[in-house]
């Protein structure tokens, strides 16, 4: 790892947009801290990053576990003293259901992952991002889900997450870090397949293309 190399924490990094973001940042010279629950997916990501000449640290954990997240952030501070990037891709996509029939466990998990964990992540990484000369936090909007039929748990928790991010964005506008909320185009991901089974995936963007497009907006 070279001196001055960006340090990037990417959540949900084992697949989909998270994995694509991790690879794209590594290709740009960042050292990626890849966080996800799926160990196999993280190991495959690490293999791809290393094969391309990049470097990564794997953080297999459930983002809802506050103690594990706090330990990770403390380790980042001890080793690097800062974060230059936070890219938050971790999301819970519960089964679609009418609002009156949302399973209690699906509702609780949606709030836990999509909202509460995001709040803890913001609180724990804000000091690390503030220690960077160019700290940036990147989140993703999913337009059109809030209020849509059968998207009650996902739409409500995602809309709440985006509201929290917009508040942090407004609060840090003059002090940093730079907080971004970008909207990816429809992508051929496992998450979308849960919501649109049987959809023709050929017109959809790839996560890799979207990662490059979205990062280009921040150049």
Sheet holding 55-60, edge to edge: 55-60, 31-36, 7-11, 85-88, 136-140, 178-182
Q: What is the pLDDT of residue 3?
A: 58
| Residue 138 in tokens | 């990147």
Q: d(Cα 141, Cα 162) in Å, to the nearest integer? A: 7
Residue 24 and residue 208 in contact, taking contact as beta carbons nearer than 8 Å? yes
Instruction: Please write the tens of the pLDDT for every residue from 5-41.
Output: 999 999 999 999 999 999 999 999 999 999 999 999 9
pLDDT score for 148: 92
User: Annotated catalytic sites, by residue?
Assistant: 154
Q: Tell me the residue ranges of DSSP E strands in the chain.
A: 7-11, 31-36, 55-60, 85-88, 136-140, 178-182
- What pLDDT is stored for residue 80 in this prediction? 97
Burial class (CB in 10 A: 0-12, 13-18, 19+), 63: buried
Under CATH, domain 7-214 is a member of which superfamily? Answer: NAD(P)-binding Rossmann-like Domain (3.40.50.720)
Q: Measured between alpha carbons, how far is 104 from 158 in angstroms, rounded to an integer?
A: 17
Q: What is the pLDDT of residue 2?
A: 47
The CA angle 200-114-59, to the nearest 5 degrees, is: 95
pLDDT along the chain (219 residues), means of 10: 81 97 98 97 98 98 97 98 98 94 97 98 98 97 88 96 98 97 92 86 94 93
In sequence order, which ranges of 16-97 are alpha helices (DSSP H)?
16-27, 39-51, 66-79
Q: By the 8 A CB rule, do 164 and 119 touch?
A: yes
7 close to 82: Cβ distance less than 8 angstroms: yes
Tokens of 21: 């973001």
N-terminal to C-terminal alpha carbon distance within the chain = 22
């Amino acid at each position: 790892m070279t001196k001055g190399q960006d340090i990037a924490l990417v959540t949900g990094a084992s697949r989909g947009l998270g994995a694509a973001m991790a690879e794209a940042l590594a290709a740009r010279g960042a050292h990626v801290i890849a966080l996800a629950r799926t160990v196999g997916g993280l190991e495959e990501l690490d293999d791809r990053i290393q094969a391309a000449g990049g470097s990564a640290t794997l953080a297999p954990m459930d983002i809802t576990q506050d103690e594990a997240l706090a330990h990770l952030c403390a380790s980042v501070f001890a080793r690097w003293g800062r974060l230059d990037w936070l890219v938050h891709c971790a999301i819970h996509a519960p089964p679609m259901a009418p609002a009156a029939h949302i399973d209690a466990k699906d509702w609780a998990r949606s709030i836990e992952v999509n909202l509460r964990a995001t709040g803890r992540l913001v609180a724990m990484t804000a000091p690390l991002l503030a220690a960077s000369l160019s700290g940036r936090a990147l989140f993703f909007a999913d337009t059109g889900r809030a209020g849509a039929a059968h998207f009650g748990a996902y739409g409500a928790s995602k809309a709440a997450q985006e509201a929290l991010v917009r508040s942090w964005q407004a609060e840090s506008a003059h002090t940093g870090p730079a907080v971004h909320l970008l909207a990816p185009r429809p992508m051929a991901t496992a998450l979308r397949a849960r919501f649109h089974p049987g959809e023709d995936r050929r017109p959809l963007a790839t996560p890799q293309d979207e990662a490059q497009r979205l990062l280009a907006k921040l150049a």
